[in-house]
Homo-oligomer: A and B are copies of this chain.
């Protein structure tokens, strides 16, 4: 550590981070363990801890130290420069928002969430619309407080993925859309369909054992992490204690498995961040898109590959005696790589998923630009859904109301999912360029070379590079949708679009 001021800053950041990690554990426990009637107590614990965390993260001494360190800036790219730049960002965001604004936002988040759950259940957009309008208003005010009144949507995109803006994303998504919409039309029109209801009666205990074997093989370190059951799969915690969840249904063994693999991708990233920098920007993920690139790479490129199943298919059959006797390898592989239309984003496959995101991006930027009003959303949703997916949701509950994000004012978050897919495809090209025989490892159940490459290319850097810069360094080219389009065609055309004889 080059200076006492930096050491002092880091100590304060780590202190705030430790408190944040306790908040994270309370939230994990709430999803995994909390008895149903204990939620009031948990709310009181979380409120108090959030207050203490906020106090630690807005310690005026952090501001003083940042001022001092900024007077003689460290060389760009140095540890100090990275820490100071991101700590300043975080500190400003926490201190420039007036207390009343933060309180108003917290109250609205809570209220809007409850209204949204009801509105979705009753498929009643009008009930939710005023809350969405208020979230939009608050989002504009938040951007203004942080000095981005002119481009509020850019502020949110940059918040989740440092360095990204609307114009860039628009260009990337336009190219992706052009290639993807006709490809999806082709697959949907194909006579070949993934089998439904193929896998039934898979005992949960055996599913659990199998996915632990798989995720451990991928490299998840169970010495400093866990997997448990929760309603929605997620990955929480950090490099010191990584906690993932999945969920089990006897008739959907692939859902539990691929949810666990997806979260393992997130978990491997967290576990690969440098432990010595835990609690500082150098021990923190770049942003949501890079995080998602890790989960998607392991989930899709790796674990839906033929090489992966060469190793794991015999193990799956052994783990579930008799359940797969009637299922050919080819049918199993098609079920693993199912593509089909659904109005629901979270139920969609890796091909159509991207179109769900483009739809949301178009709406978000339209809202912020004032081209779309909140009242018009249901109609816009249906139109875009028709254009992009070729279908319309049966009602608003399955359409514009399906996602929780906007109820909490989380604008600018959706694009990260699709950008993550693009980046995963770019990394996939890059790693196979470096190791052309990589998939032979998978066929032996060996993923160590891939993990080591991700560790050194991505994980170890923390926030040292912004999203696009990191992609440029690792892939040797700009962030682009080209490789995603190639990858999807390479994987799915042979399955769904066999050459006509």
* Chain A residues engaging chain B, CB cutoff 8 angstroms: 15, 18-19, 21-22, 25-26, 29, 33-38, 40-42, 44-45, 48-49, 52, 221-226, 240-241, 278
What residues on B are CB-neighbors of A240 within 8 Å? 38, 40-41
Interface centre among A18, A41, A45 (most CB of B within 10 A): A41
Checking B18, B36, B49, B224 against A38 with a beta-carbon cut-off of 8 angstroms, the contacting residue is: B224
Q: A35-B222, A35-B224 are in contact. List 15 more A-B contacts (CB 8 A).
A: A18-B44, A18-B48, A19-B48, A21-B41, A22-B45, A25-B25, A34-B241, A35-B225, A36-B223, A36-B224, A38-B224, A40-B240, A41-B240, A41-B241, A41-B278
Q: A22-B26, A48-B15 are in contact. Are A42 and B223 (CB under 8 A)?
A: no
| Nearest B-chain residue to A44, judged by Cβ | B18
| Nearest B-chain residue to A221, judged by Cβ | B37
A-B contact pairs, 9 of them (CB 8 A): A22-B48, A25-B45, A29-B29, A33-B226, A34-B241, A35-B226, A38-B240, A40-B240, A41-B241
Checking B25, B42, B48, B223 against A35 with a beta-carbon cut-off of 8 angstroms, the contacting residue is: B223
| Nearest B-chain residue to A222, judged by Cβ | B35
Could you tell me the distance between the alpha carbons of A353 and B35 in the complex, rounded to whole angstroms? 34
What residues on B are CB-neighbors of A21 within 8 Å? 41, 45
What residues on B are CB-neighbors of A48 within 8 Å? 15, 18-19, 22
Could you tell me the distance between the alpha carbons of A240 and B225 in the complex, rounded to whole angstroms? 28
What residues on B are CB-neighbors of A15 within 8 Å? 48
What residues on B are CB-neighbors of A36 within 8 Å? 223-224
Could you tell me the distance between the alpha carbons of A49 and B21 in the complex, rounded to whole angstroms? 11
Interface centre among A22, A40, A278 (most CB of B within 10 A): A22
Could you tell me the distance between the alpha carbons of A249 and B38 in the complex, rounded to whole angstroms? 30
Tell me how far the C-beta of A72 lies from the nearest C-beta in chain B, rounded to whole angstroms: 31
| Nearest B-chain residue to A239, judged by Cβ | B41
Could you tell me the distance between the alpha carbons of A115 and B38 in the complex, rounded to whole angstroms? 39
Could you tell me the distance between the alpha carbons of A222 and B36 in the complex, rounded to whole angstroms? 9
Could you tell me the distance between the alpha carbons of A225 and B38 in the complex, rounded to whole angstroms? 8
What residues on B are CB-neighbors of A25 within 8 Å? 25-26, 29, 45
Could you tell me the distance between the alpha carbons of A225 and B29 in the complex, rounded to whole angstroms? 13
What residues on B are CB-neighbors of A38 within 8 Å? 224-225, 240-241
Could you tell me the distance between the alpha carbons of A222 and B34 in the complex, rounded to whole angstroms? 10
What residues on B are CB-neighbors of A19 within 8 Å? 48
What residues on B are CB-neighbors of A37 within 8 Å? 221, 223-224
Could you tell me the distance between the alpha carbons of A41 and B271 in the complex, rounded to whole angstroms? 13
| Nearest B-chain residue to A23, judged by Cβ | B22
What residues on B are CB-neighbors of A49 within 8 Å? 22
Q: A25-B26, A40-B240, A240-B40 are in contact. Are A18 and B45 (CB under 8 A)?
A: yes
What residues on B are CB-neighbors of A41 within 8 Å? 21, 240-241, 278
| Nearest B-chain residue to A226, judged by Cβ | B35
Could you tell me the distance between the alpha carbons of A18 and B48 in the complex, rounded to whole angstroms? 8
| Nearest B-chain residue to A238, judged by Cβ | B41
What residues on B are CB-neighbors of A241 within 8 Å? 34-35, 38, 41-42
What residues on B are CB-neighbors of A224 within 8 Å? 35-38
Tell me how far the C-beta of A20 lies from the nearest C-beta in chain B, rounded to whole angstroms: 10
What residues on B are CB-neighbors of A33 within 8 Å? 226
